[in-house]
Structure 1
Amino acid sequence: MGLTSNKVLALAVLAAAAFFAATIWLWPRLSRTGWRSVLGRIGLLLATQLAIFASVGLAANKSFLFYGSWSDLLGQEQEMGVVVDHAASSKHVMVVGKQKTGAPGGSRPAVGGQIHKVVIKGEKSGVDSPAYVYLPPEYFQPAYAARTFPAAVVLTGYPGTAENLIKGLRYPRTAYDHAKSGKMQPMILVMLRPTVAPPRDTECVDIPGGPKSETFFARDLPTAISATYRVGSKPRNWGFMGNSTGGYCALKIALHHPERFAAGVGLSAYYKAAEDATTGDLFHGDNDERKRANLLWSLKNRPQGASSFLVTSSKQGESNLGGTLEFIKRVKSPARVSSIMLNSGGHNFNTWRREVSPALVWLSGRLSAV
């Protein structure tokens, strides 16, 4: 049973209720003196509290998807599969599995689309990173055989797993539904986590002597995907989107690399690179790079390209409101900026689910298939 399954949560709740009832029932017997009674009371109290804590933790994780699996919770990295689909792979992208999208008719890619589990090989950065590639139904249909598709890189927050983008925020299914209804054009989504060297939070920075995260996302990834799938290589063919840390990365890459990405979407993004125990020393004393990683500083002090930006926040519940308003204020032509401002909403999956749908439609309108 998976960490986020209803059965695990139900068992935890039942265990908490059972231990609570046992404590009430047995307490009179255990109120006697003696070491056995004392140990019994301690055991029941500990068991009850642990079961309640587990129930609350499992319920919170199921709602917000902090961890997608038991191995993710325990900090264990899952080994990638060894079966390689050579027909779909290239020297830049290795396809290690395929799965359904959850859309109607999902057993047939031409009807429901398909998700490829891949490893992207960074030629310039030297980084290899797992990802999921959503291919819309049109990608497999004969009428579109000669057509290229726009693509968007989609990042989750930190810590997080790419599976959260599929199961929690439902990017593939949302893109499928909107394309089917005509709200947006069919798009390819490349979904992954923002760190390329887990468990370290690399903040999409080229770390001196460390992982070249910015090079991977800004140069290697679009090059690898365009060489493997029918995606163009021009800026208008590519967008970048993410939540929290992923949102910061999306805005940063689109801001600093307008020659690669036409648009960036930051859901609940912050605006300068975090520096804490999870990141380690990102800049090694290079203050120019530290300032460059501050998006508000960059907007004020560096030339702006022709990228479009979408930023989101909430009037109540989000700590990034002030930074978001300042970001909007500092964007100047030829760049453009749009926003989603909720009346209330915290820094969580419930908020981002309300923003993903309109954000995908907005992003689709800024990209072109040719």
Structure 2
Amino acid sequence: MSLTGTPLLIGTLVAVLLTAVLIAVSWERGGRLRVVLRGVGVLAALLSVSAAALVQVNRMTEAFTLESASQPVPPAGSSPDAAEPDVEADADNARKAKTGSQIRKVTVPGKVSKLDLVMYVYLPAAYRTGKQRFPVVQAQHGFAGTPRTWLKKLQVQSALDTEIAAGRMAPTVVLFPFQTPNPTTLDTECTNLVGGPQTETFLTVDVPAYVKSKFRVRTDRAGWGLIGYSAGAYCATSLALRHPTKYAAAASLSGLAEPGITVGDGLEKTEHHVVWRLQNLPQPPVALWVGWANDETTIRRDSERIARAARPPLTVTTAVLERGGHSHAVWRQMLGPAFDWLSSHLGRPLS
């Protein structure tokens, strides 16, 4: 049973109802054990209500799922066409019949990072009908969370299909990699943790190498960009600034300017801090899109600091919603504009 599925939520709600009925029926019964039975009933009610609340919160955040970030690596030389079927295969097939786009699930072998992690791949309809090489956007998820948040909560496949069909976005391959081997307890912020997972290497070396060898994509810097929400927004901005020879543009949806974790190299407030880099290091020729909701004070402050610190050749475009906080609703509103902006700053498909 899925930890984010409707059956589990229904089960917890049924438990709440049953405990309430049992308390009502047995409240005046039990003789000398009446007080004990009442206490047990109240405790059961509290536990069932808490369980239902936790299940609903988890459905909203997907902080805990049964999906593993690691899967067996397919045999050498295998094609992505033979990759693991997506867990949302039925829904994906229904969409594919209408739009032609696909979601693939693959395992990226970490030849350099030593991390073998799952990644979802969005292929536009044009990928199946032509022989072009397509631009790539690498999409980073938040913490705690997984790439499935993009697919389910943010409904990214539908958003991409809509923008491409309307001509606001060029057909683009979009990657949704895991950025931690343990998405419920280990926040890497897309860095190389000292003594821990080398996630930055996985994302900037192993993922591009795998995708360039397995899919028809552009291999030049002009064809690669980044996007992320929440912790993934920090990842997108930081990775673009740290690897400007690999990425031309990045979009941040409600991102902070610093990782907020201990990386272990002592550089959390310097080289891993976006504003510090902009103020103290040469600014690269990268384009940034920075979006936030005005009622989210900390994110607004960091985003405004990033915009103020920008100098040519780096450019910053800002997008502000008046309210919405740190939420999927805000990020869904930002998806179309952010992907359209990225497409306008990346190279087009190559024949």
Fold-level similarity (TM above 0.5): yes
Asked if 1:131 corresponds to 2:119, the answer is yes
In structure 1, what is the equivalent of residue 178 of structure 2?
193
Of the structure 1 ranges 193-202 and 328-337, higher mean CA displacement relative to structure 2 is found in 193-202
In structure 2, what is the equivalent of residue 239 of structure 1?
225
Cα drift, residue 89 of structure 1: 4.4
Q: Deviations over 1:170-219 (max 9, x none)?
A: 22221112212222111111102322465432222223444322222223
Mapped to 1, the partners of 2:207 and 2:73 lie a distance apart of 22
Mapped to 1, the partners of 2:91 and 2:77 lie a distance apart of 25
Asked if 1:213 corresponds to 2:199, the answer is yes
Residue pair 1:223, 1:233 contacting (<8 A) in 2 also: no
1:304 paired residue among 277, 283, 290: 283
Residue pair 2:72, 2:107 contacting (<8 A) in 1 also: no
Q: What is the Cα-based RMSD across aligned positions, in Å?
A: 2.6
Mapped to 2, the partners of 1:83 and 1:124 lie a distance apart of 17
**Against the structure 1 CA distance between its residues 47 and 238, is the aligned structure 2 distance closer, same or farther, given a 3 Å change threshold?**
same
Asked if 1:355 corresponds to 2:346, the answer is no
In structure 2, what is the equivalent of residue 278 of structure 1?
none
Q: Which amino acid aligns with 1:153?
A: Q
SS at match of 2:292: strand
Q: Which amino acid aligns with 1:140?
A: R
2:264 paired residue among 283, 289, 303: 283
Residue pair 2:73, 2:109 contacting (<8 A) in 1 also: no
Matched residue pairs, number?
347
Q: Which amino acid aligns with 2:294?
A: K
In structure 2, what is the equivalent of residue 50 of structure 1?
47
Q: Deviations over 1:252-282 (max 9, x none)?
A: 011121111111111111111222xxxxx52
User: Percent identity between the aligned chains?
Assistant: 27
SS at match of 1:233: coil
Residue pair 1:196, 1:202 contacting (<8 A) in 2 also: no
Mapped to 2, the partners of 1:325 and 1:177 lie a distance apart of 30
Asked if 1:330 corresponds to 2:327, the answer is no
**Against the structure 1 CA distance between its residues 65 and 210, is the aligned structure 2 distance closer, same or farther, given a 3 Å change threshold?**
closer
In structure 1, what is the equivalent of residue 150 of structure 2?
165
SS at match of 1:176: helix
In structure 2, what is the equivalent of residue 41 of structure 1?
38
In structure 2, what is the equivalent of residue 21 of structure 1?
21
Mapped to 2, the partners of 1:79 and 1:122 lie a distance apart of 11
Mapped to 1, the partners of 2:186 and 2:155 lie a distance apart of 26
**Against the structure 1 CA distance between its residues 83 and 326, is the aligned structure 2 distance closer, same or farther, given a 3 Å change threshold?**
closer
- Structure 1's unaligned 5+ residue stretches are 276-280
In structure 2, what is the equivalent of residue 63 of structure 1?
60
Q: Which amino acid aligns with 1:271?
A: A
Cα drift, residue 111 of structure 1: 4.9
Asked if 1:148 corresponds to 2:133, the answer is yes
Residue pair 1:84, 1:96 contacting (<8 A) in 2 also: no
Cα drift, residue 100 of structure 1: 4.3
Residue pair 1:152, 1:238 contacting (<8 A) in 2 also: yes
SS at match of 2:270: helix
Mapped to 1, the partners of 2:307 and 2:115 lie a distance apart of 33
- Spell out the pairing of 1:257-276 with structure 2 (5 A cutoff): 257-275=243-261
Mapped to 2, the partners of 1:79 and 1:204 lie a distance apart of 16
- Spell out the pairing of 1:61-100 with structure 2 (5 A cutoff): 61-67=58-64, 69=65, 71=66, 77=68, 80=71, 87-89=78-80, 95-98=83-86, 100=89
Asked if 1:255 corresponds to 2:241, the answer is yes
Q: Deviations over 1:208-241 (max 9, x none)?
A: 4443222222232222211211111211111111
SS at match of 2:39: helix
Cα drift, residue 359 of structure 1: 1.3
Residue pair 1:318, 1:345 contacting (<8 A) in 2 also: no
Mapped to 1, the partners of 2:290 and 2:256 lie a distance apart of 10
Residue pair 1:153, 1:240 contacting (<8 A) in 2 also: yes
TM-score, reference length from structure 2: 0.89
**Against the structure 1 CA distance between its residues 46 and 197, is the aligned structure 2 distance closer, same or farther, given a 3 Å change threshold?**
closer
**Against the structure 1 CA distance between its residues 188 and 85, is the aligned structure 2 distance closer, same or farther, given a 3 Å change threshold?**
farther
Cα drift, residue 151 of structure 1: 0.8
Mapped to 1, the partners of 2:327 and 2:176 lie a distance apart of 18
1:122 paired residue among 110, 113, 116: 110
**Against the structure 1 CA distance between its residues 335 and 101, is the aligned structure 2 distance closer, same or farther, given a 3 Å change threshold?**
farther
SS at match of 1:320: helix
Mapped to 2, the partners of 1:173 and 1:100 lie a distance apart of 15
Residue pair 1:136, 1:186 contacting (<8 A) in 2 also: yes
Cα drift, residue 86 of structure 1: 5.3
**Against the structure 1 CA distance between its residues 84 and 49, is the aligned structure 2 distance closer, same or farther, given a 3 Å change threshold?**
farther
SS at match of 1:292: coil
TM-score, reference length from structure 1: 0.85
Mapped to 2, the partners of 1:88 and 1:335 lie a distance apart of 38
